[in-house]
Amino acid sequence: MANLRRLLASMLVILALLAVLTGFGQATITSLTVNGGEEVTQPIGLIVEDRVLIQYKVVGGNVKAMQFSISFPNGTVKDFGGSGDFSYSFICDAEGEYVLHFVNTDQTEEIRVTLDYEVQHYIFGIPQMLFMVILIAVVSVAGVAVFIGLSRKP
């Protein structure tokens, strides 16, 4: 009976860790509709040393009518102009909210944009998921060492 409780408790801890660790990865794919003459924004909260990959593809409408820019937390705006396929990566050097701006300069036609952005968090220069795996391995080895040290000696 005690083994069954221990097994159940272990399984609950593992499921809880899995749920928590999956939340650390942030990859988002979304579809946006930008009507003629309008602007759609997508905010992204970042911290220092985050690696960001932004990709989008214009699916419908006039490809050249869509203008894209990024607003940084320090107030600067980087304009990328218009294109149908776009890919840009950068390393975050200031913590805050980065805003992606999609502007449809065509007054009649709506544009569909498929946006894909991925944020990789880093801790001490190591990707966060790798850091968590190393941390779990160290804690597991320490737990086994304590268990062996406290076990009965023959």
pTM of the model: 0.67
Output the pLDDT for position 100. Answer: 92
Q: Is 83 helix (H, G, I), strand (E, B) or coil?
A: coil
Amino acid 32: pLDDT: 80
Average pLDDT, the chain: 82
Residues 85-124: pLDDT tens digits?
889 999 888 899 999 999 888 767 888 888 888 888 888 8
pLDDT tops 80 at residue 25:
no
